[in-house]
């Protein structure tokens, strides 16, 4: 089968070597999301209503907080998300001078390895916004968590291509 841009054939395993944890898993409806050192592991939903949204954000906050040029996020309900381990190993940093809204946005990092596990926004009560990149099963990144929206496209750098088949918004999406 020919490789395409959206389905690279360079991953022989659904669980590529990434960090120290070796106990990631996924089902049709749930998957693990683990930090780089393995201390923090979440169980996240892959279907509605627990899974609310999946999106790319190019905003300047995300440039800083990821040290990269975009963030790949998904939004989940707290009622459908739980810790397998490591909640006490998180450290938080929040501020309200964010680009999109005046609400406080708090970022939760593994205090050992620094992985940003999720954000919690004052404008999104009852939800967490984890990072797609922390999910252990590569197939889930291509499947259930494939981004549906791309926001703050006005801050996407010129050398980065848009994500195909996503709903675009120049600023904060709906
Ligand atoms: Zn860690
Ligand atoms: Zn952003």
The CA-to-CA distance between both ends of the chain, in Å, stands at 37
Closest CA to 149 of 63, 75, 64: 75
Residues in the chain: 174
Ligand 2 center to 103 CA (angstroms)? 13
Ligand 2 center to 9 CA (angstroms)? 29
CATH class of 30-156: mainly beta
- Considering every ligand atom, which ligand is closest to the CA of 121? 2
The domain segmentation of the chain, as residue ranges, is 30-156
Q: Do residues 104 and 125 touch, judged by C-beta distance below 8 A?
A: no
- Condensed to tens digits (0 to 9), the pLDDT of residues 85-133 reads 999 999 999 888 766 666 788 999 999 999 999 999 888 899 999 999 9
- Considering every ligand atom, which ligand is closest to the CA of 113? 1
- Position 8 scores a pLDDT of 47
Beta carbons within 8 Å of 154's beta carbon, 6+ residues apart:
58, 170, 171
- Considering every ligand atom, which ligand is closest to the CA of 90? 1
- Condensed to tens digits (0 to 9), the pLDDT of residues 122-141 reads 888 999 999 999 999 999 99
- Which of the four pLDDT bands, split at 50, 70 and 90, describes residue 174? low
- Condensed to tens digits (0 to 9), the pLDDT of residues 42-84 reads 999 999 999 999 999 999 999 999 999 999 999 999 999 999 9
- Considering every ligand atom, which ligand is closest to the CA of 39? 1
Percent of the chain scored above 90 by pLDDT? Answer: 73
């Amino acid at each position: 089968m020919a490789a395409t841009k959206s389905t690279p054939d360079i991953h022989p395993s659904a669980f590529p070597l990434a960090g120290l944890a070796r106990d990631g898993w996924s089902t049709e409806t749930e998957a693990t999301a683990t930090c780089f050192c393995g201390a923090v592991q979440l169980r996240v939903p892959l279907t509605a209503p627990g899974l609310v949204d999946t999106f790319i954000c190019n905003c300047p906050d995300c440039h800083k907080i990821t040290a990269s040029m975009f963030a790949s996020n998904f939004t989940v309900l707290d009622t459908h998300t739980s810790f397998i381990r490591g909640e006490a190993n998180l450290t938080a940093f929040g501020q309200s001078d964010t680009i999109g809204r005046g609400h406080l946005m708090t970022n939760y990092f593994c205090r050992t390895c620094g992985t940003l596990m999720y954000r919690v926004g004052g404008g999104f009560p009852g939800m967490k916004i984890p990072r797609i990149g922390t999910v252990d099963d590569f197939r889930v990144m291509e499947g259930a968590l494939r981004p549906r929206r791309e926001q703050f496209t006005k801050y996407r750098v010129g050398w980065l291509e848009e994500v195909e088949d996503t709903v675009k918004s120049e600023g904060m999406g709906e």
